[in-house]
Amino acid sequence: MPRLLIVYHSQTGGTEALATAASVGAAAIAQTETIVKRAADASAGDLLAADGLLLGTPENFGYMSGMLKDFFDRAYYACENKVTGRPYSVFVCAGNDGTGAMREVDRIVTGLRMRKVHPGVIARRVGGMAGSSRGHLDPADIAQAQELGGTLAAGLAYGIF
């Protein structure tokens, strides 16, 4: 059975809500096993054992969270040349932007020669102050994250990627 790994970090719950939604979407595809790990608990072995990858991060200072970067720092060399061509995508939770985190995650994963099979989701908090953790997530973004999980899991299950 193909395996989808969801790795994320969240400090104030936004990215976690997206990760939960993505895992619900993925779990609807019974032919794919879905594993969800916080970045601090994820290892190179988890990535090597996965057929596809979904990464989730807040945008912090225009970049990915330090904890997701730490995951890459720990896993990169062990996975280099061993995950080539495997599908991935990204979800970002942001105060007002999110593009910097998305771009920088892509830069690292492109270095691993994985294939981005979905443009990903950027969820910007609404009703709060820019750059703060305030505001709430738009239900449409949660739905998009759920769809993203389902898309990755279905693509793995049906051999589309």
Ligand X SMILES: Cc1cc2nc3c(=O)[nH]c(=O)nc-3n(C[C@H](O)[C@H](O)[C@H](O)COP(=O)(O)O)c2cc1C
Q: Is position 10 an interface residue for ligand X (rule: CB under 6 A)?
A: yes
Name residues contacting ligand X, limited to 24-53 (CB under 6 A).
none
Q: Parallel, antiparallel, or unpaired: how do β-strands 63-64 and 52-60 relate? A: antiparallel
Cα atoms found within 13 Å of the Cα of residue 107, Cβ hemisphere only: 9
Q: Is 149 in the site for ligand X (CB under 6 A)?
A: no
Q: Which is nearer to ligand X, 43 or 133 (CB)?
A: 133
When the beta carbons of 29 and 64 are compared against ligand X, the nearer one is 64
CA angle 89–104–80, rounded 5-degree value:
70
* Contact set for ligand X, span 89-148 (CB under 6 A): 93-98, 125, 131, 133
Which part of the chain contacts ligand X (CB under 6 A), choosing from 33-41, 58-66, 82-90, 111-119?
58-66
Tell me the number of residues near ligand X by CB under 6 A. 21
Beta strands in the chain (DSSP E): 3-8, 33-38, 52-60, 63-64, 87-94, 115-116, 121-124
Please say whether the beta carbons of 23 and 34 come within 8 A: yes
Rule CB under 6 A: which residues touch ligand X?
Answer: 10-16, 58-62, 93-98, 125, 131, 133
